[in-house]
Amino acid sequence: MQRFEHQPQDDEGPVFNAPWEAQAFALVLALHERGLFSWQEWAGALSAEIAEAQAAGDPDLGNTYYQHWLAALETISRQKNFSNTDELARRKSQWHEAYLNTPHGKPIQLSAGDS
Residue 82 near residue 67, CB atoms below 8 Å = no
d(CA 87, CA 83): 6
DSSP 18: S
Residue 76 near residue 42, CB atoms below 8 Å = yes
Footprint on residues 66-105 left by another protein (CB under 8 A):
67, 70, 73-74, 77, 82-83, 87-88, 91-92, 94-96, 99-105
d(CA 73, CA 24): 8
Q: Looking at beta carbons only, is 11 or 115 nearer to another protein?
A: 11
Under the criterion CB under 8 A, does residue 63 sit at the interface with another protein? Answer: yes
Helix 19-33 with 39-55: angle, nearest 10 deg: 140
In the complex, least distance from residue 87 CB atom to another protein, rounded to whole angstroms: 7
Which residues lie near another protein (CB under 8 A)? Answer: 1, 3-4, 6-8, 10-13, 15-16, 18, 20, 22-27, 29-34, 36, 39-40, 42-43, 46-47, 50, 54, 59-63, 65, 67, 70, 73-74, 77, 82-83, 87-88, 91-92, 94-96, 99-106, 108, 110
